[in-house]
């Protein structure tokens, strides 16, 4: 790296060795396919199998279900960082989505039968899993979901829709937030595992996004879909509480992605500013630009220290929703400032798709929206402060 980067003492030799494995995997199995996957709107399904064989899926899932059995989020963070560093944040969302969003629900709430049916095949790369919470009319307000699952004998009859679902087209099963009791408010929300071949279930996509082109995003529809009541994950009426429990990890994952991506983009902008000349001197030699670089480098290092603390908290199961909200909104908003200045330093070339900074400009924008908008993150923090 060309800038002065502070050491990160949260990692030891085992983490460094794992980082080398992930980096080689990305170089071998991801980077050569990025353009093709972007054009297709999804990654190739074989990626999940190769990632599983390399040990990149289910890192902290108990060994009895085929996982690595390592309760250490630092390994999860390394996967995110190495994909993001290579400009493959959209691909990372497919793999890390299973690690940080899907697997924790099964590990925490799944019965042995459920884990054998869905978790183990996912960790082996044989099945792809996804989370389906967001609806066309709810966005960040999970308490307002309207998709219903009405009991009928040994089944639920599910009606409603979900949107912006990652892994939506490739997934073999979904953990779906539904209302099993429409009159019980938050206490009427449950998590229901729905197989992609369930009668009455359809999906459309990929949705046309302005960024993250290789990230498989779809809309799901349920029209009298019949799902066994045995597919409830974590107990009826406990879905909202269980979702809140895992949202901190989801938001930290987003923060880690922004942190890694902004660092890579800043390094590229710094290199460019020292190579490109204008008016007889390097771009980096203009005082205004040196100030921009100094400010961004400082903010990046300060933020990295905070994110690393959050990674350690997550590794020891101490990360709370307020701290995660702080990490998510601050890192993603700083990413916006870094990318704006980095693109500006590139001048007209920053607007050309052939430059990584242009891709980051498009890919990074959604980070302040998904997983809960910046405004929702501030609301979470503010409520805790003032209650």
265: its two tokens: 């983009």
173-179 and 129-132 strand pairing: parallel
Give the distance, in angstroms, between the CA of residue 303 and the centroid of all CA atoms in the same chain. 19
Catalytic residue, chosen from 81, 82, 250, 267, is 250
Q: Is 113 a catalytic residue?
A: no
Instruction: Output the 3-class SS for 15-82.
Output: HHHHHHHHHHHHHHHHHHHHHHHHHHCCCCCHHHHHHHHHCCCCCCCCHHHCCCCCCCHHHHHHHHHH
Q: d(Cα 146, Cα 185) in Å, to the nearest integer? A: 11
Q: Mark residue 346 as left, alpha or beta (left: phi above 0; alpha: psi -120 to 50; beta: remaining).
A: alpha
329: its two tokens: 């909104």
Kindly provide the residue ranges of all beta strands, DSSP E only, lying in the chain, ordered along the sequence.
129-132, 148-152, 155-166, 173-179, 189-195, 201-204, 217-228, 277-278, 281-282
Which residues have a Cβ under 8 Å from the Cβ of 30 and sit 6 or more positions away?
Answer: 47, 83, 86, 88, 91
Kindly tell me the burial class for residue 210, based on how many C-beta atoms sit within 10 Å of its own C-beta (0-12, 13-18, 19 or more).
exposed
Q: d(Cα 372, Cα 265) in Å, to the nearest integer? A: 24
The structure tokens 């960024």 sit at 211
Catalytic residues: 250
């Amino acid at each position: 790296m060309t800038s002065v980067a502070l050491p990160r003492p949260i990692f030891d030799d085992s983490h460094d060795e794992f980082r080398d494995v992930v980096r080689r995997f990305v170089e071998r199995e991801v980077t050569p396919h990025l353009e093709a996957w972007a054009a297709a709107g999804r990654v190739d399904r074989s990626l999940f199998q190769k990632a599983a064989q390399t040990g990149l899926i289910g890192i902290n899932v108990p060994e009895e279900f085929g996982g690595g059995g390592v309760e250490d989020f630092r390994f999860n963070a390394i996967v995110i960082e190495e994909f993001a560093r290579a400009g493959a944040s959209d691909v990372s969302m497919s793999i890390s989505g299973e690690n940080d969003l899907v697997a924790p629900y099964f590990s925490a709430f799944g019965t042995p039968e459920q884990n054998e049916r869905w978790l183990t095949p996912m960790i082996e790369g044989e099945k792809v899993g996804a989370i389906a919470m967001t609806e066309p009319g709810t966005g960040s307000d999970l308490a307002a979901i309207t998709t219903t699952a009405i009991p009928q004998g040994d089944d639920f009859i599910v009606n409603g829709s979900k949107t912006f679902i990652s892994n939506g087209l490739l997934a073999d099963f979904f953990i779906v937030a539904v209302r099993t009791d429409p009159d019980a408010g938050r206490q009427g929300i449950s998590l229901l595992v729905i197989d992609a071949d369930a009668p009455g279930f359809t999906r459309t996509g990929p949705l046309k996004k302005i960024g993250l082109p290789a990230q498989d995003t779809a809309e799901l529809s349920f029209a009298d879909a019949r799902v066994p009541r045995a597919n409830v994950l974590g107990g009826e009426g406990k879905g909202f509480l269980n979702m809140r429990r895992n949202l901190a990890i989801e938001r930290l994952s987003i923060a880690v992605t922004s942190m890694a991506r902004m660092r890579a983009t800043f390094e590229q902008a710094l290199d460019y500013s020292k190579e490109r000349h204008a008016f007889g001197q390097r771009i980096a030699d203009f005082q205004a630009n040196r100030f921009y670089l100094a400010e961004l480098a400082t903010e990046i290092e300060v933020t990295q220290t905070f994110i690393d603390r959050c990674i350690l908290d997550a590794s020891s199961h101490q990360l709370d929703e307020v701290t995660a909200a702080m990490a998510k909104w601050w890192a993603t908003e700083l990413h916006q400032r870094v990318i704006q200045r980095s693109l500006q330093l590139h001048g007209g070339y920053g607007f050309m798709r052939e430059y990584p900074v242009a891709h980051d400009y498009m890919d990074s924008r959604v980070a302040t929206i998904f997983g809960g908008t910046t405004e929702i993150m501030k609301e979470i923090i503010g409520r805790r402060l003032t209650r």
